[in-house]
Structure 1
Amino acid sequence: MKKQFRLATLLVALGALMLTLSGCGKSLSQQDVLQNDRKANTITWGVKADTKLFGLMDVRDNQIKGFDVDMAKHITRHILGKKGKAKFIQVTSQSRIPLLKNGNIDAIIATMTITPQREKVVGFSNSYFDAGQSLLVPNGSKIKNVSDLNKSGTTVLGVVGANSVQNIKKFAPKARVLELQDYAQALTSLKAGQGVALTTDNGILYGMAVQNPGFKVVGGTFTREPYGVAVNKGQKPFTNEVNKAIKEMEADGEYNQLIKKWFGNVPGFNYKELER
């Protein structure tokens, strides 16, 4: 009887403890991100590591480098001060929103276009980069613009989770879209002839063209793709601080310095159009 009584008492105590924890605890994604980051003096960013010019892993020092990474570092200092730290976690077009929703990262700065569909799931800062969708093709390709893709049997390469895939279905509905996991796989598929063109935002494609002289960007831009910093819904104080930081960077010339640093020497890319 004593053992049964003790067991019953223990179970009641454990039940009460679980109720207390479930009532008081909040998931990471529900907590005040700005308050937590100020306490930790660190903002955790989701960035790409396969996208030259925006976020690419440098194998020489195992550091991710690019325009998005530098923007994150500058925004962090504006929000937390000069000693504020920016922590980076690698994401893909497919994984970035789940990682944000799970609280693994505080914000996404990874060539993410602001769209009405995505705004139903996450919050966005104001645009920090105005891209447009283009095409990457081999030198000598007969593909000149998006209308050339609108033929039955034509295969266009894209990346899972990228807005560009849906855009191609609108502008070239007869084309078949083959979706790869990341840009490295998509480029490999293009080189292997598995598609006639790779499509995504022009800044990303120019980065690929710089690394691969046998390919070029064609077709101009047939969409407008404003990039924003994505945050969890309900994180208005954090979003306001990000917007404030971007405005300060534009006002003091930091923003244009980063644009020139990453896009100023890219052949064929008019970086002056991006300056603010």
Structure 2
Amino acid sequence: MNGSSGTRRSWRRLPPRRPRLRGWGGVAAMAGACAVALTATLLPLLPCDAATQGAEPSRGPGVAQARQVSVDDSCTHPEASLRPSSASGDAVKRIQQHGYLTVGVDQNSYLWGYRDPETGQLVGFDIDLVKAIAKEILGSDARIVYKTIPTDQRITAVQDHSVDMVVRTMSITCDRIRQVAFSTAYFEVGQQLLVPKTGTAVTGFDDSLNGRTVCAASGSTAEALLEAQPHGSHLLRVPNQLDCLVRLQLGQADAVLTDNALAAGQAAQDPAVHLIGQPLTQETYGVAMNLADTDLVRRVNKVLDDYRSGGANSPWMQAYDKWLAHNLPGVTGPPAPLYKD
């Protein structure tokens, strides 16, 4: 990411520590959870269909290294956001008057936002961040309404205020910042290929893709990359990332292109697949909000400042250690925030 620092390391794969969600059992369990009621409020915008639809992380030092950048039409720093504030403007007051925070999430991205089939609860790295934001705005007894949103509906849901925000492994891009407002970056990722460990002719993001079918979620940065550089491949679009893993397992796709952070979760579910090559892009995840809700953006950035603070004992590192460290090792901290005013 522009503006982040630190030594980059190569990816390593370690044995997964959550065997109950491996392979077909893991995918089937999460897909089946679409019919299980949550004790928290979960409202799908569209039907859950993950099963039926047949980079390297940041080493940023965190808030201590926050800096300001100039923003121009060249979009050099799409991840630059508004400076944090605890002030309550119209958007924050609207949420407080409602008495709950409505958030667009994923329920199928293992380790990030997924339903634990044993408890029926939404859990993951993104869900921990949602809870921290809700607590800041609404207090310790905050109520959260989760809405499950397909990848290609994230922007629309924010624009029409179906949700107050989207926290769903959403990359900050030049195109997207013209449509929604983003918080400062909270994780750095890159696009990478996921393929079967055996029986594949795909060796990398190169001509070995010629004539092969590569799966990507509609509306994702992976889709955009494949459209720009297909290498002779056929693009298979699906509503959600987990659909790609199912297609790969069914033999309907030869490879999956997705954020390596998400792919690491899929590889943890299915030990028969793995990441190959190096990250092809440098992207950052951010919380997406309506362009008009500037006070909410600043409030979320305040939460993120607090979330990063504390070094190895920060809430960010605690969430990373809990959810991601085993399958996404080597991350020493969150990306440093960039501000544009």
Q: Flag whether TM exceeds 0.5 (same fold).
A: yes
**Corresponding residue number in structure 2 for 1:5:** none
**Corresponding residue number in structure 2 for 1:204:** 262
CA contact (8 A) 2:107 2:113 kept: yes
Letter in 2 for 1:134: Q
**Corresponding residue number in structure 2 for 1:217:** 275
Structure 1: how far apart are the matches of 2:169 and 2:307?
Answer: 18
Structure 2: how far apart are the matches of 1:162 and 1:149?
Answer: 22
CA contact (8 A) 1:259 1:275 kept: no
Closer/same/farther in 2, CA of residues 52 and 148 from structure 1, 3 Å limit: farther
* Matching of residue 226 in structure 1 with residue 256 in structure 2: no
**Gapped regions of structure 1 (runs ≥ 5):** 1-30
The TM-score with structure 2 as length reference comes to 0.67
**Corresponding residue number in structure 2 for 1:258:** 319
Structure possessing the higher radius of gyration over alpha carbons: 1
**Corresponding residue number in structure 1 for 2:203:** 144
Closer/same/farther in 2, CA of residues 201 and 273 from structure 1, 3 Å limit: farther
Greater relative contact order structure (CA < 8 Å, 6+ sep): 2
Number of residue pairs matched by the alignment: 243
* Matching of residue 126 in structure 1 with residue 184 in structure 2: yes
Closer/same/farther in 2, CA of residues 221 and 49 from structure 1, 3 Å limit: same
Letter in 1 for 2:329: N
4+ runs deviating over 6 angstroms: none
CA contact (8 A) 1:169 1:175 kept: no
Q: Secondary structure at the match of 1:98?
A: helix
**Corresponding residue number in structure 2 for 1:105:** 163
Structure 2: how far apart are the matches of 1:92 and 1:63?
Answer: 19
Instruction: Report deviation, 1:124.
Output: 0.8
* Matching of residue 158 in structure 1 with residue 216 in structure 2: yes
Closer/same/farther in 2, CA of residues 147 and 238 from structure 1, 3 Å limit: same
RMSD: 1.8
Residue of structure 1 aligned with 2:329, choices 265, 270, 274: 270
Structure 1: how far apart are the matches of 2:330 and 2:323?
Answer: 9
CA contact (8 A) 1:138 1:214 kept: yes
1:156-213 CA deviation, whole Å, 9 max, x = no partner? 1111111111112334342221101222322121112222111100111111111111
CA contact (8 A) 1:56 1:65 kept: yes
1:211-260 CA deviation, whole Å, 9 max, x = no partner? 11111111121111211100011111000000111011111311111011
Q: Secondary structure at the match of 1:95?
A: helix
* More helix by percentage: 1
Instruction: Report deviation, 1:72.
Output: 0.6
Letter in 2 for 1:125: S
